[in-house]
Structures are given as C-alpha cells and as structure tokens.
Chain A
Amino acid sequence: MRGALAFAWRSLVRQPARATLGILGVAAVGALLLDMLLLSQGLVTSMQDLLDSTGFDIRVAAQDPIPGEPDIADGPAAAAQIATLPSVSAAISVRTEDADIQIGSARPTRSAFVGVSGGRARPWTVLRGNDISPSPGGFGAARNHELVLNEDAARSIGAAPGSIVSVKAYCSGGAEAAPPISFRVTGIAEFPFDAPNQSGAGTTSASLADACGTPDSRAADIVMVTSAGDPDATASAIAALRPDLQTFTNNQAVGQLQQRGFTYFRQISTVLTTITVSFALLLITVLLTVSVNQRLGEVAALRALGFSQRRVVLDVLFESALIVGTGGLLSLPLGAALAIWLDSILKRMPNLPAALHFFVFDPNALWIHAGLLASTAVIAALYPMRIVARLPIAATLRDEVIG
C-alpha cells in the first residue's frame, strides 16, 4: 500500500505542471463546493444564533397582522398576562416605529424607534452609560422620557449619555408626524437586529406612545418571552392562555423562515453543489484517463516486470486520491477566504441585520465536503483503473515497440 502511494506520488512529481494545475483546479472547485455547503445552512444557523442571542426564546404575534399597523392592541397587558405563567421567566411587549432624532436644530437621523414594556428585560445590550428606567406612572402619566441610542444614531447626531435629544415619531406607517418631544439619552446600546448604518433607539412603550401623540395607546407588534425551561411547553401554555395570538418558538420561527424566506439560497446551494461535484468528477476523470493513456506502455512494462494487476490499479487510485486530497486540503483556506468575500457581497442586501451571515462554519459541512471529494476521487478513478486493469500486456508492449 505504501509502495503504491509512493509510486503515485512519483508519477505526479514527474509531471509537475499537469499535477499542479490538477491540484489547483480541485482546490478552486473544492473551495466553491465548501462555500455552497456552508451557504445551504448558513443563513438558518446565523438566524437561529441571532434569535437565541436576544435571550428570548418565544415570540407572540397577532394572528392576522396588518401591514403598517401595530398588531396587538393590548401589548403590555398581554405581556403581563403571559408573565404570570409559571413556565415564563420574562415577557415584554415590543413596538417599533420610525422617528427623526436630533440635537437642537442639527440635522436629524431617521431611526428605528423601539418601545418596550413589562419587566426589566430589554431587547438590547447597553454598551455605555445606563439603561432606561421603567416608566413611572404608566401610560398617559407625565414622565421624564429616556432612551438609549445605538452607535450609529449616537455618531450621526453627536449624542452621548446625558444628551437631550428631540424625537419626532412617525407611527403606524403614516406620513404625519406627532409634535417632537424631548428625551434624555441614558446610554449607548447594541440592538441585535440592526442593519449596518441603521440608526436605532429604544425607550419604554409609554414613552413611545407619547412620542406618537397617542399616550393611551397600548399597541405592540410582538411580545417576546423568555421561558423558564422548555420553550415548546411554554409556547403551548401561552397558546392556551391567548388563543387569539400566534405563538412560536425560535426553532419554529427559523423553521418557517427556512420554508419561505431562505429557499432561494438552499436551492442555489443544491444546484451549484451538484454542478461543482459533476464538474470536478468529469475533469478529474479526463485528467486521469489522458494521463493513463499516455503511460500505457509504462504500465504494461511494469506488469511485465512483475507488478500485480492490483498494484497498478492502486497506483491510479492513489494518484487520484493525491490530486483530490491535496486540492481538497488547499480548498479549505481558499474556501474560507472565498466565503468571507461572498458573504460581504450578500450582506449588502438592504435591511439585513449586521450580525446575520450567509456563510457560517459548520463541522457537518466539512464532513460532507470531505465525503464528496473522497467519493469524487474514487469515482473519477474508476474508468482509468478499468483501463489499467484490462490492459493486454504483450499486445501493448508490442504496439509500443512497433509504434
């Protein structure tokens, strides 16, 4: 076995140009193959990670959301009701609108403006300064309005913790804005679903309602829930408690996205994986076949010297394995670099969260990649192995001498 491997290595080294080009070709194809395998599940894995990173494992939404309108009429009450369940650790209602935020009369920045209520859990992480205080007095009561800004919003308007900003909200998809009101910036926060260069701000639902000019509005888009243990059981308990709402766990949400939104990348991944493997198979077969055909006399001479049929067949197989194996190893760093490049292209899609990635490393993808390349090496070697195995020794030697 070791002898056959060494012999195959010498065959490749003897013709460095064709061996190098073969290996480079496999490396390029292997890199593309690896990326397509990463792409097939990358978005789903990344979305799952993103959802899990928020600390909420269940989402509750309206059964029939109307575009541009807040979906749940009694968001804070629904969150409070859900929070009473023993299997629920925390529940907050979330409403998102648009707002222009500015300091004084400086140029405003258009931001996503998130209002939350219920408990102390927040769908953002404070990076500097402090978090907002819970609303004193509830909806409609006079209060000091506080908000947190994301880095982009703070940079755009030059705000820092302690700054007083003016907020003009555009609510329920309408073009008319309520009169601007003042907010104190308590801190700078990171919002997990922020798109690159997207300004964002967070406050309480009551303050958001004030900014919208509808201080009594309890509307919310969604209720986010942290279960105390089993998310599926908790989701069932919530569904039983509020059958008028739609409850889904992070896994179910990702499953729905996988069924609807992410089909394109799964399809293109499948198509390109098939094409890539077929392409590699065809070309390696041709490379090996032409190579073997050029060495028929040499193979016949080896057989005449006493090399067994099994031995010369193994030579061809190992030659294929060396080309594909070396190319496959090279394809890993090449594929990683290519994945970063392709990811940077796809991430220019509008409104995608900055933390979302299309290509995510997955050990399973690596195993499948290795398996597909190994199969390619074996299948590509079948035909040239057959040629070598059935080679008539005497006739070939005679032809070589006469030719």
Chain B
Amino acid sequence: MAAHHQDEPVKASVFAAALAGAALATVTLAQTPDNPPSILVSRQLAELEQIAVGDQVRLATDEQGTDARVFRVAGIYEPTPDPMRLGAVPREVRLHLTDLLALTRDQATPAGTEHVESINVALHDPNEAGAFAADVNARMPGVFARPAIGAAGAGSTFVVLERFHLAIAAVTIVAATVFLLALSIMLVDERRATVGVLRLIGLPARRILVQVLLEGLLIASVGAIFGLMLAVASEGLINGFFQWRYDTALIFVKVTPTVAATCLAIAVPLGAAATVAASWALLRRSGLRLARR
C-alpha cells in the first residue's frame, strides 16, 4: 500500500473502522474537491508523505490506481502500539467499513454480501462478556464469539515471553545470590577480630547475630532502593531509545508498583539472609579464637 502527496502512489495498509480486517490500497493525492468520505492516516504515513488534515487523497487497491476513490483526510492518528509488529513502520489508513467494502468489493460480489473477519462488540456491562459470548455461540452456529480479555490464552506470545523473562530473572537472582554470599563471607571475615572482642566483653552470639541481621537488612534495603531508583531513572532512557529506534509509542520498560514490591520482597530478605548465613559459621567459634591474631 502506498501514499503520496504528489501523484506518485504510496503503499499503505487500510483498516476499516469496526472491521478487524486489512486490505491493500494505493494512496495518491486527489484533485477532486467535492465532499469525499473521510479517512484517518497514521502519523508515520503522514510524516513520510507529508499528508496533512484536510488533504484529499485517492485510494486504490493496486499501484495502477484502478477504480481509485477520493477521500478526505479527517485526522492523523497514532497507531495502537503492537509488539507483534515491532520494527515495521505502520503506514496505515483507517476508513469506514462501507467505504472499504466499496473500494475492495469484487465486481461479481453484490453489495451487502461481503464477508468480514470479525465484529468487535462493546457491552454495557463488560462483566457479562462471557455469558454474552456463550449466548451468541448457542444462537448463531458458524459464528465464534469470545471475550476479548484473555482471548489470547495461556499460550499467547506475550505470556510465553513473560515466562522467559521470569526464567532469566531467576537465573540472574541465583548468580547474584552466589556472589552476594561470597562477598558477605569476605566482609564478615574482615570483621572477625571485632566480633571476637564483642564476644570477649560479654555480648552473646545471639545479640551479635541480631546486630548482623539488622545491618544486613539495612544494607539490603538501601541497595534495593538504589536499584529501584536506577531502574526508574533508566526506564525513560530505555523507552526513549527503543521508541525512537522502532518509531512506536510502545512502552518497553515500566516499573510498576507490583514490580517494585516484588523486587523489594526478593532483594531485602535475600541480602539479609546472605549476611546472616555468612556470619553464622563465624559466630559458632569462641571469642578467644576470633580475637586471636
């Protein structure tokens, strides 16, 4: 599909409002001014071909412009971000269903007998989507209705990608935990003389362990908060870069309260536990042995 402000045809995808189908059309600047039907043009196509609101364009289903029809550009729209079409610049036009059918109808097909791929239905009460779909399926054999929410199912691409990200996160946490333990052992070892003196002046191992735990909690909390701040700060940078790279409004990274809470819930106990685990072996030794140089 194509669009152009001059007379050269430009390819673009054409979508009909209320129709989840697509067709191919050629878009060229039109000369006829008489009240043509309106269309919307995607921002990307408008920028590429310098199309402005109020322009008149011709749409045709082939590059030769056969049976082209004139349309008026009523507006420029930002396409709904679609992760499945990442990397493809959306050169799209949206028009009324009747206009699309008139444009694409085969001469042998009588008007009104065309097929559509799907019909989107908005209910007064969205909670009745399941019951409504079941009712339609029972009353209209040959038509399949389903609620839009969860329609992709558990095996959809994004559910699978979410599982993949979780798996990567799990491996990263394992690696980080191992390193954290190693560092904790070294740091605790560095303070063995101090711990030995504390034991010698009468502090019980339990008291020192609580102190170590509190210290671990404090360090882990500060570290986790710093990590979250880093994530929030880099969120804009990452989104900005990828939105520029793919010319899309898609949000790639979003630190939601749930994500932040999950991070804190994992990082803080893990950090504190690593400190306590590293200190445990040290505290089982006698004060004299620890304080000995």
Q: Which residue numbers of A lie inside 8 Å of B, CB to CB?
A: 17-18, 21-22, 24-25, 28-29, 31-32, 64-68, 173-176, 259-261, 263-264, 267, 272, 279, 283, 286-287, 290-291, 293-294, 338, 341-342, 345-346, 348-350
Given contacts A17-B185, A31-B171, A174-B115, could you give 11 more A-B pairs where the C-beta distance is less than 8 Å? A22-B179, A22-B182, A25-B179, A25-B182, A68-B21, A279-B172, A279-B175, A279-B176, A287-B183, A342-B164, A345-B164
Chain B positions within 8 Å of A293 at CB level = 190
In the complex, A180 Cα to B164 Cα: how many Å? 42
Closest to A275 in B: B172
Interface string of B151-177 (1 = CB under 8 A from A): 000011100110110011001101110
The reply to whether the CB of B55 lies closer than 8 angstroms to some CB of chain A is no
Name the B residues within 8 Å of A279 (CB-CB). Answer: 172, 175-176
**With a CB–CB cut-off of 8 A, which chain B residues contact A174?**
115
**Is the pair B160, A349 in contact by a Cβ cutoff of 8 Å?**
yes
Q: How far is the CA of A32 from the CA of B242 in the complex (A)?
A: 23
Cβ of B259 within 8 Å of any chain A Cβ, yes or no, is no
Of A18, A31, A260, A345, the residue contacting B182 (CB under 8 A) is: A18
Contact of B186 among A24, A29, A66, A290 (CB under 8 A): A290
Number of B positions contacting A (CB below 8 A): 42
User: For residue A22, which residues in chain B have a CB less than 8 angstroms away from its CB?
Assistant: 179, 182
Q: Which chain A residue has the least Cβ–Cβ distance from B183?
A: A286
Q: Could you write out 19 A-B pairs with CB less than 8 Å apart?
A: A18-B185, A18-B189, A21-B182, A25-B175, A28-B174, A29-B175, A32-B168, A64-B1, A64-B24, A64-B62, A175-B142, A286-B183, A290-B186, A294-B189, A341-B167, A345-B164, A348-B160, A348-B163, A349-B161
Closest chain A residue to B104, Cβ basis: A66
CB <8 Å contact, B24 and A21: no
| Chain B residues touching A, majority SS | helix
Q: Is residue B187 contacting chain A, with contact meaning CB distance below 8 A? A: yes
Closest-CB distance, A118 to chain B (whole angstroms): 26
> In residues 238-269 of chain B, which contact A (Cβ within 8 Å)?
242, 246
- B163 — nearest CB in chain A belongs to which residue? A345
Q: Are A32 and B21 in contact (CB under 8 A)?
A: no
Least Cβ–Cβ distance between A100 and chain B, in angstroms:
13
Flag whether B52 is at the interface (Cβ < 8 A): no
A-side contacts of B115, CB under 8 Å: 174-176
A130 shortest CB reach to chain B, Å = 35
Minimum C-beta distance from A201 to chain B (A): 22
Q: With a CB–CB cut-off of 8 A, which chain A residues contact B24?
A: 64-66
Q: List chain A residues, Cβ under 8 A from B22.
A: 67
Enumerate chain A residues within 8 angstroms of B63, measured Cβ to Cβ: 64
Question: Which residues of chain B are within 8 angstroms of A342 by Cβ–Cβ distance?
Answer: 164, 167-168
Is residue B11 within 8 Å, beta carbon to beta carbon, of the partner chain? yes
Give chain B residues whose Cβ lies under 8 Å from the Cβ of A259: 87
Known: A29-B175, A173-B117. A350 touches B155 (CB 8 A): yes
Question: Which residue on chain B has the smallest CB distance to residue A28?
Answer: B175
Residues of A within 8 A of B182 (CB): 17-18, 21-22, 25, 287
Which residues of B have CB within 8 Å of A68? 21, 117
| A21 with B179: CB separation less than 8 A | yes
Question: Which A residues are CB-close (under 8 A) to B168?
Answer: 32, 272, 342
Of B11, B164, B178, B246, the contact of A64 (CB 8 Å cutoff): B11
CB distance from A223 to the nearest CB of B (A): 20
Cross-chain contact of A260 among B88, B174, B178, B179 (Cβ < 8 A):
B88
Compute how far the CA of A355 lies from the CA of B87 in the bound complex, rounded to whole angstroms: 25
**Residues 2-34 of B contacting A (Cβ, < 8 Å):** 11, 21-24
Q: Does B131 contact A (CB under 8 A)?
A: no
Measured CA separation A346–B88 after assembly (Å): 22
Chain A nearest Cβ from B109, distance in angstroms? 12
Min C-beta distance of B173 to chain A, whole Å: 10
Nearest CB of A to B178, in Å = 4
Q: How far is the CB of B47 from chain A (nearest CB, A)?
A: 20
Q: Find chain B residues with CB under 8 A from A260 CB.
A: 87-88
Task: Report B59-92 CB contacts with A as 1/0, cut-off 8 Å.
Answer: 0001100000000000000000001001110000
Q: Given A28-B171, A32-B171, A68-B117, verify A294-B190 contact (CB < 8 Å).
A: yes
Known contacts A22-B182, A64-B24, A291-B186; A32/B175 CB under 8 A: yes
User: Is there a chain A Cβ closer than 8 Å to B225's Cβ?
Assistant: no
CB nearest neighbor in A for B173? A28
Q: For residue A264, which residues in chain B have a CB less than 8 angstroms away from its CB? A: 83, 86
**Residues of B contacting A291 with CB < 8 Å?**
186
Q: Chain A's nearest CB lies how many Å from the CB of B192?
A: 10
